[in-house]
Chain A
Amino acid sequence: MNHLEKEMLALRNEVLDMWALVYSQLEKTKGALLKDNKDLAREVISRERRVNAYELKIDSDCENYIALYSPVAIDLRLVLSLLKINGTLERIGDFAEGISRFVIDTYEKKYDSLIREMRLEEMFDELLEMLEGSRKALESEETKMSGCLFAKDEYVDNLYDQSLQKISEYIKMHSEDALTCIFLAILSRKLERIGDHCNNIVEEIVFYIDAKVLKHAGKHKEV
């Protein structure tokens, strides 16, 4: 392995480490919400700084790699992908932090049944699988599972739609809880956005490995 390859490997491993951190943030956020564990929520908030530090470090390392080594072909695609994945992981970290703040500031046990009906646990599980699946895709440089990951995003979108329905029904019966219900709708929306971000990550991996641009492909078809 020459020194260029070593530098590239180091950059890739740094992103994979950040990935593991963001995965753990999302997993802990799930535990904090579903078990009303405010300590776990506080841990997520305090570790958000580490996610941000990773983002800054990786941004700077990508910039240096491009400036010093002028990558081309598959190397260029990898750096560009890592740069975008980096920003996307940071956004997912932000969402996890936002949900954790909701757990600390607003959440009460009495909403447990609503959360079950909203199927938020299922949404979390799907998202964690997407995050883990996309990480494995990059690690193994294999895009076979991309279709399955895209399908999961669609499933999360459906769960989101259904969760809004449940919230709407709940508000009709408990108008005094309307504000918390709005927060729960926003929370569900955040999960749905995490699905979109995971989708974007998979698209970046396909761009890196197969040199195909999938971005907005679905939307074009609809037009």
Chain B
Amino acid sequence: MDEKKIKLEAKNVNFYYDDFHALKGINMQIEQNSVVAFIGPSGCGKSTFLRLFNRMNDLIDGTHLTGECLLDGRDIYDKRVHVDELRKNVGMVFQKPNPFPKTIFENVAYGLRVNGVKDEKYIKQRVEESLQSAALWEEVKDKLKKSAFELSGGQQQRLCIARAMAISPSVLLMDEPASALDPISTAKIEELIHELKKDYTIVIVTHNMQQAARVSDKTGFFLLGELIEYDQTKKIFLNPEKESTQNYITGRFG
């Protein structure tokens, strides 16, 4: 049988903000070239869990982790792992588009330059490829030297996705990437996610149930720091196993 490779894995992960137990014994496997959505009410731990995979939580004082977070079978919290190297492999897109105060071109080229790439021809090629992949090339090809702030919110978000992709990561983490966007920009981002899973493993946190249903292969429902249910998205949205999952997705929660 054609078993998909496990790209990301959490093994009995517990995470604490000081004495607050934010994630409780999470176990999860995420297959390569799949899209996984995390859903759950605010404060349930889904964004905390997402950020573990590129060690964004390292920046917060007073946090600690037990258990293992694996990328391609390797513990990303191992002392020998360099965070910069990890983040080259695991890109992140945030809720609000956050382009740098630079030109459109330089935004996408940024990751390559800070990683020491000097070959301008190669940089130009990667910028174009990344903007093409982010479905933004046609809209910006004639104004690459303009400031990124001149773009609309939806275009800025796709620029951030292009920026994340320029350094060729294998995983993209997205923390509510479309929550600040209008429906048309949201549809473009969702279509993009659908396209990108051919080359990337994508994990997306969303508060929009229908977005999770539309874009993901698997969905994980978090509640009070626990992973309540993790299954095929079709199963979760047609017949979830747990009553609390059903109550949440049907809007009866609380």
Asked whether A74 and B250 contact (CB < 8 A) given A211-B238, A211-B239, the answer is yes
Q: How large is the interface on B (under 10, 10 to 19, 20 to 34, 35 or more residues)?
A: 10 to 19
* Distance from B210 Cβ to chain A, minimum over Cβ atoms (Å): 5
Q: Is B103's beta carbon under 8 Å from chain A? A: no
A4–B251 alpha-carbon span in the complex (Å):
8
Q: Which residues of A contact B239 (CB under 8 A)?
A: 73-74, 77, 211
CB distance B213 to A72 under 8 Å?
A: yes
Q: Which residues of B contact A76 (CB under 8 A)?
A: 237-238
* Distance from B229 Cβ to chain A, minimum over Cβ atoms (Å): 11
CB pairs A–B below 8 angstroms (23 shown)? A2-B251, A2-B252, A4-B250, A5-B252, A71-B250, A72-B209, A72-B213, A72-B237, A72-B238, A72-B249, A73-B236, A73-B237, A73-B238, A73-B239, A73-B245, A73-B249, A74-B239, A74-B246, A74-B250, A75-B250, A77-B239, A211-B238, A211-B239
Q: How large is the interface on A (under 10, 10 to 19, 20 to 34, 35 or more residues)?
A: 10 to 19
A70–B213 alpha-carbon span in the complex (Å):
11
A2–B209 alpha-carbon span in the complex (Å):
18
Within 8 A of B (CB), among A1-23: 2, 4-5
Q: How many A-B residue pairs have CB under 8 A?
A: 33
CB distance B251 to A73 under 8 Å?
A: no
Most buried by B among A5, A74, A75, A211: A74
Contact with B along A59-80 (1 / 0, CB 8 A): 0000000000011111111000
| Nearest neighbor of B240 in chain A, beta-carbon distance | A73
* Distance from A16 Cβ to chain B, minimum over Cβ atoms (Å): 21
A77–B237 alpha-carbon span in the complex (Å):
10
Contact with A along B185-222 (1 / 0, CB 8 A): 00000000000000000000000011001000000000
A76–B236 alpha-carbon span in the complex (Å):
12
Q: Which residues of B contact A74 (CB under 8 A)?
A: 239, 246, 250
Q: Which 8 A-B pairs have the closest CB atoms?
A: A211-B239, A72-B237, A73-B246, A75-B250, A72-B249, A70-B210, A73-B250, A4-B251
Q: Which residues of B contact A211 (CB under 8 A)?
A: 238-239
A4–B247 alpha-carbon span in the complex (Å):
12
A75–B249 alpha-carbon span in the complex (Å):
10
Q: Which residues of A contact B251 (CB under 8 A)?
A: 2, 4
